[in-house]
Structure 1
Amino acid sequence: MESNQFGLFATSTAQIHDAPAVGGAVHGVPSIEKITFHLLRLEDGEILDKKVFSNDFVNLTHNMGVFLYDDLLAIVSLRYQTIHILQIRDSGNLVDVRAIGEFCREDDELFLNSNAQRIQRLRKKFYFHFQDYVDLIIWKVQFLDRHHLLIKFGSVDGGVSRNADHHPAFVAVYNMDTTEIVSFYQNSADELYLLFEQFCDHFHATSRNSMYMNFISSHSNNIHALEQLRSIKDKASSSAQFVKKMLASLPFSCQSQSPSPYFDQSLFRFDDKLISATDRHRQSTDHPIKFILRRYPYSLKFKIKPGPEAGSMDGRAKKISSFLFHPILPLALSVQQTLFLQPSVVNIHFRR
Structure 2
Amino acid sequence: MSIRHQAIHLFSIDLHGKFHLCQSIGWYLHYDDELLLARHGEAESDWIQMKRQRTNSDFYVRPAVSANIPDCNNINSSSMYSSFQQIVLSRLYRMAVSENDGGVALIQFYRNFNVYAGLKLWRMQLLSESKLLIKMVPESAIMSQPSDMSNQFAIFIILNLHTYVIEKLFDNSNEEVVKMFTKCADVLRGSPQDGSKWYSSTCSNNAAAKKILKKQLFTWSCAKHGSVSEAVKRLAVDLPRAPQSSIESPYFDLSLFSYDDKLVNAIDRPRTTPDILKFYSRQTGELAFKIDPNPAPVSSYRRNDIGLPRRCVVSLISHPIYPLIITKLQSAMRSPVVNFHVYKANTM
TM-score by length of structure 1 reads 0.68
- Is the 2:123–2:135 contact (alpha carbons within 8 Å) kept by the matching residues of 1? yes
Q: Matches of 1:341 and 1:149 in 2, distance apart? A: 46
Residue 254 (structure 2) aligned to one of 262, 265, 281: 265
Q: Give the number of the structure whose residues are more often helix, by fraction.
A: 2
132-141 or 303-312: which moved more? 303-312
Q: Matches of 1:131 and 1:226 in 2, distance apart? A: 38
Give 3-state SS (helix, strand or coil) of 1:334's partner.
strand
Cα deviation per residue 1:135-178 (whole Å; 9 max; x = unaligned)? 11111111101111101111223224450333221111112222
- 1:157 equivalent in alignment to 2:140: yes
One-letter identity of the residue aligned with 2:36: F
Q: CA deviation at 1:321?
A: 2.2
- 1:329 equivalent in alignment to 2:312: no
One-letter identity of the residue aligned with 1:322: S
Residue 3 (structure 2) aligned to one of 22, 26, 30: 26
Q: Matches of 2:13 and 2:39 in 1, distance apart? A: 35
Q: Matches of 1:231 and 1:140 in 2, distance apart? A: 27
Q: Matches of 1:207 and 1:170 in 2, distance apart? A: 27
Give 3-state SS (helix, strand or coil) of 1:255's partner.
helix
- 1:142 equivalent in alignment to 2:125: yes
Partner of 1:98: 23
Summarize the alignment of residues 57-206 of structure 1 with structure 2, pairs less than 5 Å apart: 81-115=6-40, 120=65, 129=110, 130-163=113-146, 164-206=149-191
Number of aligned positions between the proteins: 273
Q: CA deviation at 1:255?
A: 2.6
Query: Unpaired segments of 5 or more residues in structure 2?
Result: 45-62, 67-79, 94-108, 297-302
Q: CA deviation at 1:188?
A: 0.9
Q: Matches of 1:26 and 1:199 in 2, distance apart? A: 29
One-letter identity of the residue aligned with 2:161: M
- Deviating runs (4+, > 6 A) in structure 1? 121-128
Task: Classify 1:161/1:323 alpha carbon distance in 2 versus 1 (closer, same or farther; 3 Å).
Answer: farther
Task: Classify 1:170/1:307 alpha carbon distance in 2 versus 1 (closer, same or farther; 3 Å).
Answer: farther
CA root-mean-square deviation: 3.1
Cα deviation per residue 1:5-25 (whole Å; 9 max; x = unaligned)? xxxxxxxxxxxxxxxxxxx72
Q: Matches of 2:337 and 2:114 in 1, distance apart? A: 50
Q: CA deviation at 1:319?
A: 2.4
Q: Matches of 2:327 and 2:2 in 1, distance apart? A: 39
One-letter identity of the residue aligned with 1:252: R
Q: Matches of 2:333 and 2:143 in 1, distance apart? A: 24
- 1:216 equivalent in alignment to 2:200: yes
Give 3-state SS (helix, strand or coil) of 2:243's partner.
coil
Matched residues, percent identical? 30
Q: Matches of 1:206 and 1:137 in 2, distance apart? A: 28
Partner of 2:282: 294
- Is the 1:144–1:204 contact (alpha carbons within 8 Å) kept by the matching residues of 2? no
Residue 236 (structure 2) aligned to one of 208, 222, 247: 247
One-letter identity of the residue aligned with 2:330: Q
Residue 276 (structure 1) aligned to one of 238, 260, 265: 265
